[in-house]
Structure 1
Amino acid sequence: MMATQTKRLTYRSLAAGNRVKLAGTFTSSGNMMLMLALVLLLAGLSTKAMAFADQDHDGVPDYKDACPDTPKGLAVHANGCSETPLSTLCLPDSQGQSYPPKCATTEPLAVYFPSDSSHLPQSQWPVLAQIAAFLRTYPAVSLYLVGHTDNQGNKLQNQPLSYRRAELIRTALINDYQIDPVRLKIQAKAASQPAASNQHAHGRSLNRRVAFIVQQRHLADNRQGGQ
């Protein structure tokens, strides 16, 4: 009788970090296919385990969730907020006032960038989710996306850099949150409007930003509509 050959397959579970050993006797191609199917099943389970965290289980990963405490069972938009608008932001408008008008104080909001970069860190995505929720709450409002830099480099470098930063935010709001492109206007200010001192590293980090300003000419429609 011919000796039966035993082959051992090894699969590392990405989720648990443990080594799973599968041993068996393969006397036909059918047995081999069965073992391969089991390995693929385990791989699929590990992939799910590596998905982004979603603490309120609404299907939107936390880093993009503007409403991280949504009650269980509510239908939500792509930004993680329920279909009933929930935004309570008070943004500055182009006349230096607050919007909506009932706000007592404005809440200037910005996304921040690394030095000499138009790449948006993952940590800044929740701000975009808040802006998307604001735009859904006030559907007649349009925004200026105002790009800024610190004072490192010269204007020939900083002007296009500030534009690219604002353009990146506009693209993300359109593609990831389905905001109408007509509602998003770009302004590039380079280093001309610092939010903090450029004399130290922390101040420069606050100046590398895109800020959000409500367009004044769209406010009358919202006031008339009772928004």
Structure 2
Amino acid sequence: MKKMSMLKAAVSAVTLGAMSHIAVASDFEIGIGAPYYGFDKELNLEDKVGVNLNAGYRFNKPFGLELSYSQVATDIGGIDTDVADLRLDGLWYLANEGKILPYAAFGVGMLETEVDGFDAEDEETVNFGLGVKTHLSQRIRARIDGRWLHGLDSHSNHSVITLGLGYVFGASTPAPKVVAAEFTDNDKDGVEDSADMCANTPAGVNVDAKGCALDTDRDGVADHLDNCADTDKKLKVDAVGCPVVLSEDVSIDLSVKFSSGSDVVDAAYFNEIRGVARFMEQYENSEVVIEGHTDTSGSAAFNKKLSQKRADAVAALIVEQYGIESHRVKAMGYGEEQPLVAENSKADQATNRRVVAKVSAKKEVLEVK
């Protein structure tokens, strides 16, 4: 642990030194990766994929420095084991410019192993290997890196293959071209008239290589007229580049059955009632009227009270159990006044013993091209 702490301190010092030169550096890169560790078989460690963070500084010469920290969760015979790999590497770029940058690497570091939460071993290491970086854009690089890692104390040998992405600071840009004396640009957009496909572009508008106003989100509205940047190109937009909003009706129905003479809500209907509550959470302006109904058995006055109790029971679940505001939920008992079917059987009576509701709301959607 003491050795690892000293190496971490050295890493921090080199990192700060490199970052202090970002303003004038041609290439400073930070990255993340997924390293696959093939451990020495004699150590009985299971081969695993870990996580990696790195920071590298490439000088104007082909040589660069890189700090790398990886952590792998593995095991020894079923016992949880964590391996931390901290390295300081030198990279020699075999191509100093271009989209593809192959390199050779050599470095020193420290492996720290913890078995079941207890420090087991700190070991100094050396490593060497090869890798390739490729530009996905001016700032983003993909990377594959293969290393042979040798432990100086145990003489163990490990292999590490890492796939990663890096972000580049201070990338160099081409020097401005010398403008010939005969260069003409009537609309002053920086594109010569002979190559300008959009003459008379307004002053101060950013244009592409063809002299046309930029449309970064490709919605058909130039950036200087676009009030809604980064619109998805699948969406229809209006004259100022904002998505066209449509309104459509959405609704959800509720139907709860009751035993004869009972106002107890069967647990089988809880999911359906919860669904109504979730709908009302999503559409905050929606309201619901819970309607209670009975069959014709019993007196009309009794049925009126029973239907109100049934409606109240469902409403109480929506308000008290699922947290919908009480002013958005009303309960109304209709007794036997609104039967669904004529009661010629017990099944008909069961059909009429019910609580029903329908919740509607307006939903805004973005129109697709």
> TM-score with structure 2 length normalisation?
0.30
Q: More helix by proportion, 1 or 2?
A: 1
Structure of larger gyration radius: 2
> TM-score with structure 1 length normalisation?
0.48
Higher relative contact order (CA 8 A, sep 6+): 1
Q: More strand by proportion, 1 or 2?
A: 2
